[in-house]
Structure 1
Amino acid sequence: MRNDSQQWKQYPKYKNSGVEWLGMIPDGWNIFKLKRMAEINISNVDKKTELNQEKVLLCNYVDVYYNDYITNKLNFLEATATKEQKKRFELKKGDVLLTKDSETWDDIAIPACVETDLDNVLCGYHLAHIRPHPNKLYSKYLFRAISASGLKEQFWVAANGVTRFGLSKSSITNALFPLPPFSEQEKIAQFLDKETTKIDNLINKKQRLIELLQEKRTALISHAVTKGLNPDVPMKYSGVEWLGMIPESWVVSKAKLISSIFVPQRNKPDLNTVDGVRWITMENLISPSINLSLSGYFVSQSALLQAGSKVLPKECIIASCVGNFGIASVNLIPVVINQQLQAYIPNKQKIDIWFFRYFITSSKIYFELVATSTTLVYVNQTSFGELPTVLPPLAEQEKIAEYLDIQTQKIDNLINKTQTSIEYLKEYRTALISAAVTGKIDVREEV
């Protein structure tokens, strides 16, 4: 992958494409409608099993959405199909599959390329099956062209719908693409395979770094709130298996003895976007604290009275009680919380709220052990109160919380910096594909 200071060269000569939104293309290239260069069919093979049909495997929407290339390593769905459907939709090397329906318009026209003949594997429902004409349209070039910024938008514009969007067959068949000579299509595809592989490898390494940093963050918090900051203090067994050893001067209590458990009312109040008491859901627990700068919904005084909602006073620890445990925030303002949350109203003479928050985030294992499952994995009020809680001296709690504030901020800064670099690489990847398939750069000598 080149540095920003290195420039890909351009073609020696350009001409007007005749398509306003495409602009100039290299001399020797043409513009084509997809139907002139490929056979296109909309799949009608669904995942149902019919007794009078033949057993097949189905490449479905998710397979295409999450994979650039369709191979025999994927776990395809079992289904049935007619002989005619098998003849029309069985996957062959070089086929291009396209998502044609989605709940959001920007998930329309996600392509994938079939790497090899896949016997008895059919293109599934909600997909378009495209088979390029041999020696005219190179499948991997088409795959890249469909996903290119500046070309894929024509599908978004053509998509119809309000709550669900879909592409008609005609909007696919009439899609316009630049067409280099066939040998040049091959070189462009080879170049993009090589360069995107480099970029993807870099992205994977950075994503792995983020995972390691998140693991380090979790371990740091867990160690600090259960072992303290001084590695030389005498230790004792806590009496709680998942807590293990704790400093000798610490005691183990229960959350209900150092706080009150707050459970919201069952009735959801009417919400508004103007004024009232802030309405808090699990999605709002993304930062250590909740304050006035938070955007979202409010509950008016009249709505509070009508629903019988209780207001949680400020400086409590709000925690998830459904599904994803170990998420917690301190509310710096009064709030109303929804049914997926409960809260601890701490006795500040016994526990520092910020230390308590860190301890709750490190207690995921406890909540998972006591959770009950019906339709949702849930921790009830009693189990919330039974949480074994370590109690260092109050001054030590404050020091631990201050230490964790500093150290977790350092890790968070590294995570954010790495995430920003990943977004840059993704943007560069998108721009490179677009530049290559529209002829903005000449890559013929790069492979």
Structure 2
Amino acid sequence: MSAPWLDSMPSTWRQIALQYLATVGTGSKDTVNAVEDGEHPFIVRSAEPLAIDTFTFDTEAILTAGDGAVGEIFHHIKGKFDAHQRVYVIHDFQGIDGRYLYWYFSSEFRRAVSYGGAQTTVASLRRSMFTTFPVAVPPPNVQRLIADFLDRETREIDVMIGKLDGLADQLRTLHRTNLVALGHQLCSPGPSARVGLLLTKRSRAVRPDDGVVTAFRDGQVALRSRRREKGFTMSFSEAGYQGVEPGDFVFHGLDGFAGAVGVSEDRGKVSPVYHVCTATPLASERFMAWALRALAANGFLEAYAFSVRQRSVDFRNWATFAGLPITYIPLDEQVRLADRLDEVTEKIDAMLAKVAELKALLIERRTALITDVVTGRKEVA
């Protein structure tokens, strides 16, 4: 397998195929063999190992998924363990430091596979992709220096990434806390109104150039193409599709209990499972979107669905949805609450975006650092 990115490695380094440095095999177990609180690690095709009471291996090894998240998940382990039958196990190292090989392999394997003629999103791996995998092999002392350096440097970066993840969790919790607080207010004793008194259902015509609009669980209602979500299903029949205008209140009849409700940002069309509404003179579309998301966040929508004897959380029937009771808040107060929630959410989202940007930069720095070191472009001491 050609490795053009190793053409400039130091002259004291060698390029050797993996089959001459280690044994490549696979596990023999299946996920049904996992045992809760088992004695040994059970490496499967996911980032988190399971547990098992048996062990096939008692050694130092590098493991990676043979299908699924190919080139994304790597483990370095020492001691007794077992492995899934579709997990590749690289062990019995010869003339190569296991920690160094882990850093090199986890950094360069996916790129090496793509140079070997496979797609970078290859669905499964063959043993030959491993045996011919080209490894940059520095002198033994340099291997140990590189392993020590990367252990130390990546640990520091991972700590920073962990702190950013913690901050993001706090921000998301703050957002949910605001929703739950509003939900409690809307379920508290006081003058109440049914949703059907506050919202008017619309049946807009679909236009030939309309794209599909989706209500996402984070409260955004927008053209599906803008989010480029994978894995969604499309109906072969568009019977019953409805037109949507910017500013319309949009509620997903099956997924609204999980937060799939909001005010549309785009013009387009939605499937029959949605309710497309405008507010009556008693309400605000923006507030009603916040109100229904709040009622979803504190579990009221789910509880209400079961209280009306539905077998699932199903609000596709307009009468069921229109019958939802909420504590009525005067229109001027609705607008004030919606303005405040919009403002707070905008600030939280801006902070989350900044956290995500910083995390991406750290991950990029981590990836580049490993690649530079294991290919000899950066010297460590």
Normalising by structure 2, what TM-score?
Answer: 0.80
Pair 1:280-2:213 in alignment: yes
Q: Distance in 2 between matches of 1:97 and 1:426?
A: 21
The count of corresponding residues between Structure 1 and Structure 2 is: 363
Q: Distance in 2 between matches of 1:415 and 1:320?
A: 26
Match of residue 291, structure 2, among 352, 359, 374: 359
The answer on 1:417 being equivalent to 2:377 is no
**In structure 2, what is the equivalent of residue 398 of structure 1?**
335
Contact 1:316 1:344 in 2 (8 A): yes
Residue 47 of structure 1 contacts residue 78 of structure 1 at CA under 8 Å; is this kept in 2?
no
- Structure 1 residues 383 and 93, CA gap change in structure 2 (3 angstroms): farther
Q: Distance in 2 between matches of 1:195 and 1:376?
A: 50
Alignment counterpart, residue 91 of structure 2, candidates 115, 121, 131: 131
1:441 matched to 2:381? The reply is no
1:59 aligns with 2:42: yes
**Structure 1 residues 166 and 367, CA, compared in 2 at 3 Å: closer, same or farther?**
same
Cα distance between partner residues in 2 of 1:203 and 1:385: 45
- 2:212 touches 2:223 (CA, 8 Å); kept in 1? no
Q: Does 1:110 align with 2:65?
A: no
Cα deviation, 1:273-310, whole Å, max 9, x if unaligned, reads x9522323345x6564537994779xxxxx99x74314
Matched, 1:254 2:206: no
> CA separation in 1, counterparts of 2:203 and 2:117?
45
Structure 1 residue aligned with 2:269? 336
Structure 1 residue runs without a partner (length 5+): 1-17, 50-54, 68-73, 80-85, 228-237, 298-302
8 Å CA contact retained: 1:254, 1:387:
yes
Alignment of 1:312-331 (within 5 A): 312-314=243-245, 315-322=247-254, 325-331=258-264
Q: Hey, what does 1:76 align to over in structure 2?
A: 51
Aligned partner letter, 2:4: E
* Contact map agreement 1:346 1:353 (CA 8 A) in 2: yes
Q: 1:430 aligns with which of 367, 370, 376?
A: 367
Q: How does 1:155-194 map to 2 (within 5 A)?
A: 155-158=113-116, 165-194=123-152
Question: Secondary structure of 1:40's partner?
Answer: strand
Shift of residue 199 of structure 1? 1.1
Residues in 1 aligned to 2:195 and 2:44: alpha-carbon distance in whole angstroms: 47
Q: Which amino acid aligns with 1:130?
A: I
The question of 1:368 aligning with 2:368 is answered: no
Give secondary structure in 1 for the equivalent of 2:211: strand
Deviation at 1:178, TM superposition (A): 0.8
In structure 2, the partner of 1:71 is none
The CA deviation at 1:155 is 1.8
Residue 6 of structure 2 aligns to which amino acid in structure 1? L
Counterparts of 1:318 and 1:427 in 2: how far apart (Å)? 38
Q: CA offset at residue 421 of structure 1?
A: 0.3
SS in 1 for 2:149: helix
Counterparts in 2 of 1:287-326, with a 5 A limit?
A: 288-290=220-222, 294=226, 307-314=238-245, 315-322=247-254, 325-326=258-259
How far apart are the structure 2 equivalents of 1:333 and 1:193?
48
After superposition, give the CA deviation of every residue in 1:298-353 in whole Å (9 maximum; x if it has no partner). Answer: xxxxx99x7431414534322334356123221255543236x5325244301100
Note closer, same or farther for the CA distance 1:24–1:127 as it changes in structure 2 (3 Å cut).
same
Residue 224 to residue 59, structure 1, CA distance change in 2 (3 Å): closer
Distance 1:41 1:321, change over 3 A: same
The alpha-carbon deviation at position 354 of structure 1 amounts to 0.6
Q: CA deviation at 1:172?
A: 0.5
Give the corresponding residue for 1:5: none
For residues 98-154 of structure 1, the C-alpha deviation after alignment (integer angstroms, 9 at most, x for no partner) is 22223x7xx33632111x312xx42212111111425x21112111111215x5311
8 A contact 2:41–2:50 mirrored in 1 = no
Partner of 1:52: none
User: Are 1:97 and 2:97 counterparts?
Assistant: no
Q: Give, in whole Å, the separation in 2 of the partners of 1:421 and 1:162.
A: 26
User: Would you say the 8 A contact 2:110–2:120 is kept in 1?
Assistant: no
Show the 5 A alignment for 1:372-387. Answer: 378-381=314-317, 382-387=319-324
- Structure number, greater radius of gyration: 1
Matched residue SS, 1:278:
coil
**What secondary structure is seen at the aligned counterpart in 2 of 1:205?**
helix
| Partner Cα distance (2:115, 2:179) in 1 | 48
Amino acid at match of 1:244: S
Match of 1:148 in 2: 107
Q: Percent identity?
A: 19
Cα separation, 1, equivalents of 2:224 and 2:212: 11
Q: Of the candidates 107, 122, 127, which is equivalent to residue 82 of structure 2? A: 122
- TM-score, normalised to structure 1, is 0.70
- Asked if the contact 2:253/2:275 (under 8 Å) is kept, the reply is no
1:189 Cα deviation from its structure 2 partner:
1.5
Alpha-carbon distance between aligned partners in 1 of 2:103 and 2:215, rounded to the nearest angstrom: 38
In structure 2, relative to structure 1, the CA distance for the partners of 1:139 and 1:386 (3 Å cut) is farther
- Contact 1:108 1:166 (C-alpha < 8 Å) held by counterparts: no
Instruction: Assess if the C-alpha contact under 8 Å between 2:196 and 2:323 holds in 1.
Output: yes
Cα distance in 2, alignment partners of residues 292 and 191 from structure 1: 44
Q: What's the counterpart of residue 207 of structure 1?
A: 165
Unaligned runs of 5+ in 2: 230-234
After the TM superposition, list the runs of 4 or more consecutive aligned residues in structure 1 that deviate by more than 6 angstroms.
55-58, 161-164, 373-376
Paired amino acid for 2:136:
P
Task: Evaluate the alpha carbon distance shift between residue 128 and residue 387 of structure 1 in structure 2; reply closer, same or farther with a 3 A threshold.
Answer: same
Shift of 1:19: 5.0
Relative distance call for 1:431 and 1:332 in structure 2 (3 A) is: closer
1:183 alignment partner, SS class: helix
